[in-house]
Amino acid sequence: MKEQKKLDKAIHDNTILHLGLWYKKSRKLKRNNNILNRAIINFKYRLLMRKPRMTVTSKKSKRRKLDVLEEVFEQMH
């Protein structure tokens, strides 16, 4: 009976230790993930600011966009 208690305590202590280590590693990975996400967002923003995208459109598509805007404006009023 005493041996079983010692064994249970050892297993419990080992499990708690591993849970703590996994939790710590998980927190570190989440922090690194947030840092990387922020770096990607900053990188995309810098690219956009340095070189804004110029879309090449034909006169027809510009006219169509204006027609759609007119329709939406009319529906709003």
Q: Domain locations in the chain?
A: 2-76
Task: Give the list of residues 6+ apart from residue 73 with CB closer than 8 angstroms, or none.
Answer: none
The alpha carbon of 14 is separated from its chain's Cα centroid by a whole number of angstroms, namely 34
Query: What pLDDT score was predicted for residue 3?
Result: 87
Q: For residue 23, give the amino acid letter.
A: Y
How far is the CA of 40 from the CAs of 35, 36, 44, 70, in angstroms?
Answer: 9, 6, 6, 37
The C-alpha atoms of residue 68 and residue 52 are separated, in whole angstroms, by: 25
pTM of the predicted model as reported, rounded to 2 decimal places: 0.46
pLDDT tens track for 19-39: 999 999 999 999 999 999 999
